[in-house]
Amino acid sequence: MPTIKDVAREAGVSIATVSYVLNKKDTFVSQETRRQVLEAIERIGYTPNITARNLKSSRTRLIGYAWHEVPNDQVNPVLDRFTYYLAQAAEAAGYHILTFTHPTDDPLPVYNDMIRTQRVDAFVLAGTVRDDARIRFLQEADFPFVSFGRSNPDWDFPWVDTDGRQGVREATEYLIGLGHRRIGMAAWPEESISGSFRLQGYFDALDAADVPFDPAYLVRGKHSEQAGRDALAYWCSLPRDEQPTAIVAITDLVAIGIMNEAERRGIVIGRDLSLIGYDDVPMSQYLRPALTTVQQPILEIGQALMRLLQMVLIQNSSAAEHALISPRLIIRDSTGALCR
């Protein structure tokens, strides 16, 4: 495990200088030197000695994270796994996650109370949306936080996210490489931030391959199994020679709906219709056929968030750093070459 001596060596400064920066007693340390120390800490993954720091600090060593309520017709194993890996990364850094709940339509009083009573040192947000009230509130309160996910493009705050645009582009390119040209996209509503990035990846792949976009191949719906069923039912209503031969689904749950509707109609996934999901939820590998999908690197995201949050806390500000992490295409049996 890196020590304060390692930080000093990496930054090319004295141990005393590193100590001044860590304990915010760096009045006589230049901004350039301070930056060198903070960058060295980030590069080598240094974690301050927790016991010693606690003797000098009133920090709680607790990070607030709100549980997310999932509607009865939906599942969200991604956030479940994220919560676990976030807690794991926090503990490795000497923190613990304090989970809480709040009314879906009015989260701010809970955040305000936790700040007022000094129960946490910072927050981790997830499930971000456009005009996210939590982000606006924490920025105005100047309280440390990081986010799993983005929000308004003109809001500058620290976040980590999966590169959904890249992930869906690779998925669509893979289908094009198998010979498919009529490729459907089962997308989310327009107001979805992550959905818009993923959809752009679909457009990117079509453009790069000179495959014309057909508006009939884009169907939007919510995050549910029924949305997948409805999308395939619509595509099956098109003339047979105009129906998609392959589909990219915005999530594995939507893909499962497509698979169920395909089975009801006698369509064989992987032979008659290629299908790619997104998320790589645990059940996806056990479906029949096993689902080709885009895997979100949840472990890496949790670790990146904690590294970023440590930097925010060390600098005592909401440093607007960002990290975009590449997903991975997991190829299984639900995709195949176009049958001509």
Encode the chain (340 residues) as per-residue pLDDT tens digits: 677 778 888 999 877 677 777 766 555 578 888 889 889 988 888 876 544 444 344 578 999 999 876 666 656 678 888 999 999 999 999 999 999 998 888 999 999 999 988 899 999 999 898 999 999 999 888 889 999 999 998 888 999 999 999 999 999 999 999 999 999 999 999 989 999 999 999 999 999 999 999 999 999 999 999 999 999 999 999 999 999 999 999 999 999 999 999 999 999 999 999 999 999 998 899 999 999 999 999 999 999 999 999 888 886 554 568 999 999 999 999 999 997 6
Q: Is the domain of 73 the same as that of 191?
A: no
Structural domain span for residue 274: 164-296
Q: Is the domain of 288 the same as that of 251?
A: yes
Q: Is the domain of 130 the same as that of 28?
A: no
Q: Is residue 340 part of a domain?
A: no
Per-residue model confidence (pLDDT) at position 55: 37
Strand, coil or helix: 243 = coil
Q: Is the domain of 115 the same as that of 172?
A: no
Q: Is the domain of 192 the same as that of 152?
A: no
Q: Is residue 336 part of a domain?
A: no
Q: Is the domain of 156 the same as that of 87?
A: yes
Strand, coil or helix: 128 = coil
Q: Is residue 152 part of a domain?
A: yes
pTM of the model: 0.78
- 265-276 pLDDT tens trace: 999 999 999 999
CB atoms within 10 A of CB 177: 10
Q: Is the domain of 236 the same as that of 310?
A: no
Kindly report the three-state secondary structure assignment for every residue of 15-68.
Answer: HHHHHHHHCCCCCCCCHHHHHHHHHHHHHHCCCCCHHHHHHHCCCCCEEEEECC
- Give me the count of residues in the chain: 340
Can you give the CATH number for the domain in which 112 is found?
Answer: 3.40.50.2300
Q: Is residue 264 part of a domain?
A: yes
Q: Is residue 331 part of a domain?
A: no
Q: Alpha helix locations (H) across the chain?
A: 4-11, 15-22, 31-44, 50-56, 77-92, 108-116, 133-141, 164-177, 193-208, 225-236, 252-264, 298-315
| Structural domain count of the chain | 3
Q: Is the domain of 211 the same as that of 292?
A: yes
Q: Is the domain of 176 the same as that of 286?
A: yes
